[in-house]
Structure 1
Amino acid sequence: MAQPIFIPLEMVANGKPPYPPVLALGFRPFYLLAAAWLVFAMPMWLLIYGHGLISESHLLGPIWHAHEMLWGFTSAVIVGFLFTAVSNWTNRPTPRGWPLLFIASLWLAARILLLTPWSEIGALVETLFFVAAAIGIAQPLFRSGNRRNYFFVGLLLIFALLSAAHHYSLLTDVVWFTARQIEFLMLTVVLLIITVITGRIMPMFTANAIQGAPVHKRSWLDRSAVVATLAMGLSLIFLPETISKWIAVAAALIHLFRWWGWAPHWTLRKPIVWILHGSYLWMPIGFLLYAIPGSWSPMASLLATHALTVGLIAGLCIGMMTRTARGHTGRPLQASKAEVTAYILTMAAAMIRVLLPMIWPEWYRLLTSLSGLLLTIAFAIYLVKFFPWLMQPRADRKPG
């Protein structure tokens, strides 16, 4: 039988792993890379947006911004989370040590190359990254027979396929789907992952943190939310507006009902929990904004997308990145003032980016820049706070 290619933490000399602490588990390098990349890429986008800065990549302007927020920042957080979670689910090692360094290096190389004249090579490297990440979770899942989570392997391979398709649509004259349609397909897959994961963790986190909270987990509602999310995403691409708008309304109501069942109003004194609930609320808000006809508000669709990307995705990322990093570095699950500040800045960035332009559309450019600045500061706070912890062994001296 073939031996696993990833070294379990127990298979080390003198009880010390043969690699630095930052390579002990997937969340460590990928959370640092994700935060650092947002701190770099968001100001870069504001320079492109405000001053017309142009790179020599085939990804230009808003297309580069969308690509780097979905296939760059968001994918790093998802892969870091999955490498950590799959290890817990299966009690088997995911990539760590030098294999983890190799996979993280693929991600970083793609980010750099996609800013240069060698961006076509970056497209290939990015696709290889997703394939390597899929292999990284496939081995422990398949060896342990954890069938419940096999689909995550397929979703990472879909990331690879959509990455290749996005680049192909921009590099060739052959267009099956436009770049914008592929971006929305990628966003839909990310929303599916969020829908599944939040259904597992939100009731548990809330019940564990707040004694007596009336948390309700309904399996039928979780399944309905998955179907509604997929239907909403696909309908906005393939169905007439008159149909897709009603699907978006139905999806928003399902997610809103689901969210309320998790007792969000009980979490206000627990910032490390309320950030997750506050972020999830942007899912139904975004879906409702998609339901607004373009004839009523030409900006509604764009604002809806940013409700999902800034409010939902960035909010959940900052929440899970702090919680996971605290828990897996042996520290209490209690947000500090720095983390609470990052949470507030992220939610403020979403409100400024999504809600205020509906009131003052003439200030749209200024509000967009202010939102991007606040989001950059939020993740810079994370980087400063957690960089030392993620580079050092666990505080309780346990492996991981």
Structure 2
Amino acid sequence: MDGTKRLALRREREAKAPILLQAGFRPFFIASAAWFPIAMAFWLALLTGKIELQSHLDPVTWHSHEMIFGGVGAAMTGYLLTATPNWSGRLPAIGGPLLVMMGWWVLARVINAAAGWAGPWPAALIDSGYYFVLSAVIGRESWYGKGRGVSIAVLTAIFAIACGAHHLAAATGGLDHGIFARAGIAILVLLISLVGGKLLPSFTRNALPRDIRTTVTAQETRFDAIVNWVTALASLAWIVDSKGLAPTMLALAGVLHLARAIRWQPWRVTHEPSVISLHLAYLLLPLGLLGLSFIGEGRQSDIMHLLTAGSISCMILAVMARLSITQTGRHPRWRLAPLAAVLFASLGAIVRVVSGTGPIPLQEGWLLAGLLWMFGFGVFLIFFAPMLVLPRVRSGSR
């Protein structure tokens, strides 16, 4: 199918679907940006004893699960359902299939918070089954795209296994469920390394004046392959045993990611908030990896927030903002909105890490960190959610 015919068919299908279901990024970006602060508010209420959780997951486990496999999963779905058709040249999912996936994701969130009446097995099957289906969809597009994106499909399948295993390990107590939480985080770190390694240099190069674009390569090099492989090996070592060889591997991965971030020359694109916000989010990745490598085991859960509340969440915000702008043809009324969202979320992550170690008391620090982090997603909802429920602006129509 040639590009002109494909575009005509896509617009015909879009015209028959509600605006919110015309592309994967529309419903799932809103769901992700809304669920993160809802889940955080729920977590803060659990901490203060204002509510009780009716689930096989204890409050701490529920919190980590919903951050890793809940909010992140929605953003991941929105991005992948939007990006994968570009691999295969096929039409994207629109309308009914999106509604089914959205309903499935919502059902998983509800049953995880109130699974006491259903039990861990149904919750695990519903929650992990969602990601197995997503992996199959990505795998199908990879097949038609002659293998492009097969690593993403495999990682999504492993993510599904970690999701289900996290449920069952927490319910039975037979295994350390922290292993599966680390597995989920490690997969997301790998996705940032793989996908971010393609997006950031490309966006950076495009944002530069034509006469200096050649200073930043948009092509992956052997160095990028080394970074990805070292990150994969460091992640595996960290999942299996956070001690032993893991600290050394994490430190090496952190140094390589830092070198990679410098190599992209982010200081050249400070004039473009949507691009510099991606760089700031990425910078938290090597900081988190280096922090995990040097900190003692007793504080690893604190430092881990540089990866989760920091790099992963900020990368989600930055990518969602950038894609919302490019895919809808609109711009936020406040140009610095992408950067503001990332700064608030990253500040929340930093406050969470240092809470209880200095002048900020532990409980108050957690509350402040949660509020700052929630405000970052609030900025996205205020400035970008309206774009996602309005028709795309066609070229020349503004």
TM-score scaled by length of structure 2: 0.89
Cross-structure match for 1:169: 169
Identity of aligned residues (%): 28
Counterpart Cα distance in 1 of 2:339 and 2:170: 40
Cross-structure match for 1:86: 84
Larger mean Cα displacement after TM superposition, 92-101 or 61-70: 92-101
Q: 1:284 to 1:16 in 2, by over 3 A?
A: closer
Counterpart Cα distance in 2 of 1:218 and 1:94: 26
Cross-structure match for 1:336: 335
* Native 8 Å contact 1:123 1:164 kept in 2: yes
Counterpart Cα distance in 1 of 2:278 and 2:141: 28
Cross-structure match for 1:384: 382
Count of aligned residue pairs for this structure pair: 384
Q: Does residue 153 in structure 1 map to residue 163 in structure 2?
A: no
Structure number with the higher helix fraction is 2
SS in structure 1 at match of 2:384? helix
Cross-structure match for 1:70: 68
* Native 8 Å contact 1:113 1:119 kept in 2: no
* Native 8 Å contact 2:281 2:342 kept in 1: no
Give CA-to-partner distance per residue, 1:63-122, whole Å, 9 cap, x none.
Answer: 001000110011111111111111223221232210111011101110011111335333
Residue 388 of structure 1 deviates from its aligned partner by 2.5
User: Which residues of 2 match residues 311-350 of structure 1 at below 5 A?
Assistant: 311-332=310-331, 336-350=335-349
Residue 306 of structure 1 deviates from its aligned partner by 0.3
User: Which residues of 2 match residues 183-262 of structure 1 at below 5 A?
Assistant: 183-211=181-209, 212=212, 214-216=215-217, 219-239=221-241, 241-262=243-264
Counterpart Cα distance in 1 of 2:285 and 2:14: 43
Residue 383 of structure 1 deviates from its aligned partner by 1.5
**Which residue identity is paired with 1:135?**
A
Q: 1:226 to 1:338 in 2, by over 3 A?
A: closer
**Which residue identity is paired with 2:377?**
F
Give CA-to-partner distance per residue, 1:202-229, whole Å, 9 cap, x none.
Answer: 1111111122263256622211221222
Larger mean Cα displacement after TM superposition, 107-116 or 342-351: 342-351
Q: 1:13 to 1:178 in 2, by over 3 A?
A: closer
Q: 1:220 to 1:60 in 2, by over 3 A?
A: same
**Which residue identity is paired with 1:232?**
A
Cross-structure match for 1:5: none
Coordinate RMSD, CA, aligned: 2.4
Cross-structure match for 2:277: 275
Counterpart Cα distance in 1 of 2:201 and 2:45: 41
Larger mean Cα displacement after TM superposition, 226-235 or 179-188: 226-235
Cross-structure match for 1:396: 394
* Structure 1 residue ranges (4+ consecutive) displaced by more than 4 angstroms after TM superposition: 8-16, 332-335
Q: 1:65 to 1:361 in 2, by over 3 A?
A: farther
Give CA-to-partner distance per residue, 1:323-363, whole Å, 9 cap, x none.
Answer: 10111111259962444432321222122222x33851762
Cross-structure match for 2:34: 36
Counterpart Cα distance in 2 of 1:48 and 1:63: 12
Larger mean Cα displacement after TM superposition, 212-221 or 52-61: 212-221
Larger mean Cα displacement after TM superposition, 178-187 or 236-245: 236-245
Q: 1:190 to 1:361 in 2, by over 3 A?
A: farther
Structure 2's unaligned 5+ residue stretches are 1-5
SS in structure 1 at match of 2:245? helix
TM-score scaled by length of structure 1: 0.89
Counterpart Cα distance in 2 of 1:86 and 1:19: 20
Residue 239 of structure 1 deviates from its aligned partner by 4.6
Residue 316 of structure 1 deviates from its aligned partner by 0.6
Counterpart Cα distance in 2 of 1:360 and 1:317: 29
Cross-structure match for 1:351: 350
* Native 8 Å contact 2:87 2:141 kept in 1: no
Q: 1:141 to 1:338 in 2, by over 3 A?
A: same
